A and B are shown apart, each in its own frame.
Chain A
């Protein structure tokens, strides 16, 4: 059971539906006009709990998906890890350093394992600059920039 991914997912869903139920109990179920803001959330959370219990039963009795099978293996682990790292860094940096630097590091981290680092670096900066120009000048979509305008 400990290695069964469906069980863990079911537990997470039970927690989610529990929080949903707890929050909906603080909302008005009905008022003089009819159903209140808590009406649908309460029903949804109850139905979700019931379905999650069925899902847990199904996961235990029929389809066992192992937790170990969830996670990427081999090279994919590093590729996905670098991508997620790049995304988090982008979110942390973009409003300070601007799109070109934040975007370049994201593209660089996603390409450095496939190409030589020098080419990946140059391509990353080039693509980020092209995207900035395309979105801002051609499409009129404002991207986050630093005080130098990039």
Chain B
């Protein structure tokens, strides 16, 4: 079975080491407020330049799902979500900590995260190959429609307004057009600058938007020292096991299914899970005051989401969120093309990475449960100590993409642009996603129009493309209406950075 072959590759010495390194850095990224998985993966990309593809992606994937575990620690111990998807854990996790049950909250979150993460990996094993087979039958119209759904999800549901999300998306698409047109070879928007012939580099833009600008924003926030509550017993009481396990099972299914949808985000399953647990609870008034299901469900959902979100990347080649877009870029950087052919052309790589995720989840469970207090102490390190490190690594990363000072200049410019965008509430996340997808979107659109003799209506003659485009329209209109009525709520924050 290919998964067993994957385990034999993943469990070789250096791959195990990079898996451990990735999940440890992921925990660190999750624990430290202000540093999310997108920034963490973008910052660590330069380190993987000289590595082989398998250990590189094993490490970077480890950062992604490790951050979901790490974000729980600060949510429970100091009421500060380490990363966006853990914001719902603050609602009941912190009250549990104040009741002297910090250990139980962390234990339940850790167990739920492990179950959700592991089950979603099984989901990749059983859903991935058939979906990749099916995707082999997709043509440019289907790929275009899928990418439109993904973009509309990000724009229509996230951020404070659809207008601002659209602007961010259009900026990202415009930036992706700089350089040589892949179909005709014409140079576009280079203004005679030779450094722009190959276009802009997504690593440089990411370093600027998510590294430099986040440091600038962080420098404006005054530091405060948190007092950590005692971490005692890790497991729930006997009568709490049944409702906890039910919440974990529901969270697992919810997170995995939502992860399959391009353009979704880890915050959505966490919020939905919390709402569902509250609705299903016999006594909803317990929520917000230390309800164990309010921790178990969302934490399971955001980890289960990780596995589901990797499926569109592996099988169709469409990153479903800005963080996955950075991973997508890492794949390209290492000579791999995500998509239907990945399972066929690079089966050893795919199964090794999937196997490493099983291993990584076990490592995270071991790291979380007995060492929760230690991770909590990490969260109290003043952010100002980290900024020089983040900046110098960003600079190294930007320079190493092309060994040009030009890229450092571009990074600085995008750092300032990202800072201003954050201040005027234009979300940064869609820029990276649309920049990465831009050339794919243009290629699939142009190829489709050539096939349909220039008629846009041709998309609606393809059943799947038609359904997806109608769905995209409904999502967009729904998001616009929700924005007008100010009903975006928790999704209004610029998330997953």
Query: Which residues of A line the B interface, CB within 8 A?
Result: 5-6, 9, 13, 16, 20, 23-24, 27-28, 30-31, 33-37, 39-41, 44-45, 47-48, 51-52, 54-55, 58, 63, 65, 69-70, 72-73, 76, 79-80, 83-84, 86-88, 90-92, 94-95, 103, 106-107, 110-111, 114, 127-128, 131, 135, 139-144
Chain B count of residues within 8 A CB distance of the other chain: 54
Query: What is the bound-complex CA distance between A86 and B412, given in angstroms?
Result: 11
Does B47 have its Cβ within 8 Å of any Cβ on chain A? yes
Task: With A6-B424, A40-B177 as known contacts, state yes or no: A34 contacts B446, CB within 8 Å.
Answer: yes
Query: What is the bound-complex CA distance between A114 and B395, given in angstroms?
Result: 21
Are A127 and B167 interface neighbours, CB within 8 A? no
Are B220 and A72 interface neighbours, CB within 8 A? yes
Contacts of A24 in B (CB 8 A): 188
Does B471 have its Cβ within 8 Å of any Cβ on chain A? no
Query: What is the bound-complex CA distance between A80 and B213, given in angstroms?
Result: 10
Contacts of A51 in B (CB 8 A): 163, 166-167, 170
Are A87 and B391 interface neighbours, CB within 8 A? yes
Are B391 and A110 interface neighbours, CB within 8 A? yes
Contacts of A139 in B (CB 8 A): 47, 49-51
Interchain nearest-CB distance for A28 vs B (Å): 7
Query: What is the bound-complex CA distance between A58 and B220, given in angstroms?
Result: 27
Interchain nearest-CB distance for B63 vs A (Å): 16
Contacts of B164 in A (CB 8 A): 55
Contacts of B478 in A (CB 8 A): none
Are A20 and B189 interface neighbours, CB within 8 A? yes
Contacts of B450 in A (CB 8 A): 33-35
Query: Which residues of B line the A interface, CB within 8 A?
Result: 46-47, 49-51, 161, 163-164, 166-167, 170-171, 173-174, 177, 181, 183-184, 186, 188-189, 212, 215-216, 219-220, 384, 387-389, 391-392, 395-396, 399-400, 403, 405, 408-409, 412, 415-416, 420, 423-426, 442, 445-446, 449-450, 454
Query: What is the bound-complex CA distance between A37 and B180, given in angstroms?
Result: 9
Q: A33-B450, A44-B177, A110-B387 are in contact. List 5 more A-B contacts (CB 8 A).
A: A35-B454, A51-B170, A127-B392, A139-B47, A139-B51
Are A94 and B189 interface neighbours, CB within 8 A? no
Write 10 A-B pairs (CB below 8 A) sorted by A numbering.
A9-B420, A27-B186, A28-B186, A44-B173, A65-B424, A72-B219, A91-B405, A110-B391, A139-B47, A142-B403
Task: With A23-B188, A37-B186, A131-B392 as known contacts, state yes or no: A141 contacts B400, CB within 8 Å.
Answer: yes
Are B391 and A83 interface neighbours, CB within 8 A? yes
Contacts of B170 in A (CB 8 A): 44, 47-48, 51
Task: With A94-B405, A107-B392 as known contacts, state yes or no: A63 contacts B442, CB within 8 Å.
Answer: no
Contacts of A34 in B (CB 8 A): 446, 449-450, 454
| 10 shortest interchain CB distances as A-B pairs | A34-B450, A140-B50, A37-B181, A37-B186, A76-B220, A91-B408, A110-B388, A48-B170, A79-B219, A70-B423
Contacts of B425 in A (CB 8 A): 63, 65
User: In this complex, what residue of A is CB-closest to B215?
Assistant: A83
User: In this complex, what residue of B is CB-closest to A132?
Assistant: B396
User: In this complex, what residue of A is CB-closest to B48?
Assistant: A139
Query: What is the bound-complex CA distance between A95 and B170, given in angstroms?
Result: 35
Contacts of B392 in A (CB 8 A): 103, 106-107, 127-128, 131
Are B446 and A55 interface neighbours, CB within 8 A? no
Interchain nearest-CB distance for A103 vs B (Å): 6
User: In this complex, what residue of B is CB-closest to A72?
Assistant: B220
Contacts of B424 in A (CB 8 A): 5-6, 9, 65, 70
Contacts of A79 in B (CB 8 A): 219
User: In this complex, what residue of A is CB-closest to B216?
Assistant: A80
Are A65 and B167 interface neighbours, CB within 8 A? no
Contacts of B220 in A (CB 8 A): 72-73, 76, 80
Determine which of B184, B212, B403, B445 lies in contact with A37 in the assembled complex, contact meaning CB atoms within 8 Å.
B184
Are B188 and A91 interface neighbours, CB within 8 A? no
Are B405 and A5 interface neighbours, CB within 8 A? no
Interchain nearest-CB distance for B169 vs A (Å): 9
User: In this complex, what residue of A is CB-closest to B389?
Assistant: A127
Determine which of A5, A16, A44, A48 lies in contact with B423 in the assembled complex, contact meaning CB atoms within 8 Å.
A5
Contacts of B46 in A (CB 8 A): 141
Are B219 and A76 interface neighbours, CB within 8 A? yes
Contacts of B212 in A (CB 8 A): 87
Contacts of A83 in B (CB 8 A): 215-216, 219, 387, 391
Query: What is the bound-complex CA distance between A69 and B425, given in angstroms?
Result: 12
Are B216 and A90 interface neighbours, CB within 8 A? no
Determine which of B163, B188, B408, B415 lies in contact with A90 in the assembled complex, contact meaning CB atoms within 8 Å.
B408
Interchain nearest-CB distance for B152 vs A (Å): 14
Are A55 and B388 interface neighbours, CB within 8 A? no
User: In this complex, what residue of A is CB-closest to B445?
Assistant: A40
Contacts of A141 in B (CB 8 A): 46-47, 49-50, 396, 400
Query: What is the bound-complex CA distance between A127 and B396, given in angstroms?
Result: 13
Query: What is the bound-complex CA distance between A69 and B422, given in angstroms?
Result: 12
